[in-house]
Structure 1
Amino acid sequence: MGEGAGKGAGRGADEWATSAVVCCPVCLREHAYTATVLPCACGAPLAPPLLADAPPVQLTRRSWSDEWVTVRCASCGRQDEWPRPELGCSCGTVLRLAVRPVADPAGPRPPAHIPLPRTAATPRPAFRPMPIRTAADVVSTAARYLEWLGFREIAQPQRRPASGIDLHGPGLIAAVEATTRPAAPRDIECLWLHGMNSAAVCVFFSLPGYAADARTRADALAVPLFALDLTGTPQPVNGPADELVSTGAAQT
């Protein structure tokens, strides 16, 4: 088998793709990443073209003006702003993946078919993400995801209470970090204490990710942690979150 044949399309496919193997520069774990497919205004599926050979960048601070990338639809030619692809590593690091610029003439013709993201075998239908553009979108995405997991009657206070509980339902409380500050151990501990007092499952969602010691504390307290990106796709980042995704709310 010749060089590059194992990937089916040679170097061009390696440089421009909708999926890639991403190595975390902090813990050196490897992740199979597939760009989230969202519909263009014309209805065609669209995903940002990844530069698979470019190393990911560790994201330590967010700037809303730098969260978007221009993507061209192969079906209608429309150019629109798209959330930059990001990956939350299980060590708590958030990585931003490189995307080929629209104006780059070296890019090959887009493939006729963009593969849909892989999903685990589950009786639930696939979660349908919606792009996050505001802090309110972060909270609503978390609420939709909890409903997808099987929780019911999810409610959000009109004003965030001092407890930091952004969402609640029967047997459930959730905190959502929508700022640029990664969640800290104290955030995890406060949520866990409220969950203990109310005999409720507690879940944490964070857009900027988690500090390493927050992840360690969550593992010790069995608090599910989910990382969010601007595509609106929550990703489990610890064992309790993986278990929650596997079992759903009915088994918690």
Structure 2
Amino acid sequence: MDSLPVHCPACGRDHAYITPVYPCPCGSPTAPPLMRGTPVEPITHRTWNDDWVSVRCTACGRRDQWPHPELCCPCGAVLRIPVRPVTPHGAAPSAAARPPGPSHIPLPRTAAHPRPSFRPMVIRTARDAVSAAALYLKWLGYREVVQPEVRPASRIDLRASGLIAQVDSTTRPTALRDVECLWLNALNTSVSGVLFSLAGYAEDARSRADGLAIPLFVMDLTGTPQPVNSPADELISTGP
């Protein structure tokens, strides 16, 4: 299938997007049918209902809820890709697809040992978002990743050897204050800090993170983090 051209209304960049494929319980690959010619919608406020879309399996006819396709632009905007609604009768046309290409071009990998492919987990709750970030940190090579049962007052969601991480699962872009609080917590404990967000980052928050060398990642509901700044690229490239 040809890729879907996506134009970011925030910065004017053009992207080529291919929707991810999910396994139906019957075993057949299933993908949301994308709508061509319909402008994408920047996500400025998340609701859990809007973040899911009905998809019908063309093999068995089963109808399930899957994460709404999204694209993370390097400018920090998170774009919702229009999907054709499932009709009451008959199966919606399928969209055979490959995993989407990264919208943020990473640095060449220099890690001594190449990593296997990351296997994400679907995010349905705020707790799932933290668990998905923990999986990603382990994939990057961090050891002893700990997720507290109750979020502490410091708002640190994950701790690992030499690292603390904050996971913002709210429906608004992560603010400047969150970046600075994470940096101070990391400084006080002599470790590095990393931020994950479901709704992207405010412009001043991203600028401050660049200056403080804090890696920023955006996660969609498939649970796959995408780097949105150079420190995040470097972390992927070199590991802990």
Tell me the TM-score range normalised by the shorter chain.
0.7 to 0.9
Q: Please, which runs of 5 or more residues in structure 2 have no aligned partner?
A: none
CA distance in 2 between partners of 1:189 and 1:182 (Å): 15
Q: Please, which runs of 5 or more residues in structure 1 have no aligned partner?
A: 1-12
In the alignment of these two chains, the number of paired residues is 232
Question: Against the structure 1 CA distance between its residues 204 and 179, is the aligned structure 2 distance closer, same or farther, given a 3 Å change threshold?
Answer: same
Q: CA deviation at 1:140?
A: 0.4
Matched, 1:114 2:114: no
Q: CA deviation at 1:197?
A: 2.3
Matches within 5 A, 1:232-251: 232-249=223-240
CA distance in 2 between partners of 1:211 and 1:116 (Å): 27
Q: CA deviation at 1:154?
A: 0.5
Equivalent position to 1:63, from 39, 44, 47: 47
Q: CA deviation at 1:81?
A: 0.8
Question: Against the structure 1 CA distance between its residues 108 and 44, is the aligned structure 2 distance closer, same or farther, given a 3 Å change threshold?
Answer: closer
CA distance in 2 between partners of 1:109 and 1:167 (Å): 41
**3-state secondary structure, aligned to 2:123:** coil
Matches within 5 A, 1:170-181: 170-181=161-172
Larger Rg: 1
Q: Which has the higher contact order (CA 8 A, sep 6+)?
A: 2
CA distance in 1 between partners of 2:205 and 2:223 (Å): 22
TM-score, L = length of structure 2: 0.88
**3-state secondary structure, aligned to 1:80:** strand
CA distance in 2 between partners of 1:58 and 1:126 (Å): 29
TM-score, L = length of structure 1: 0.84
Sequence identity of aligned pairs in percent?
58
What amino acid maps onto 2:98 in structure 1? P
Deviations 1:193-250 (A, max 9, x none): 222222222110011111111011111111110111112111111111112122222x
Q: CA deviation at 1:86?
A: 1.1
CA distance in 1 between partners of 2:147 and 2:101 (Å): 31
Matches within 5 A, 1:140-155: 140-155=131-146
Question: Against the structure 1 CA distance between its residues 46 and 246, is the aligned structure 2 distance closer, same or farther, given a 3 Å change threshold?
Answer: farther
Deviations 1:2-48 (A, max 9, x none): xxxxxxxxxxx6xxx6x423221011122232222221111222221
Q: Is the 8 A contact 1:45 1:114 kept in 2?
A: no
- 2:61 maps to 77
Question: Against the structure 1 CA distance between its residues 102 and 196, is the aligned structure 2 distance closer, same or farther, given a 3 Å change threshold?
Answer: same
Equivalent position to 1:99, from 83, 86, 93: 83
Taking only aligned residues, the RMSD between alpha carbons, in angstroms, comes to 2.3
Q: Which runs of 4+ in 1 moved over 6 A?
A: 119-122
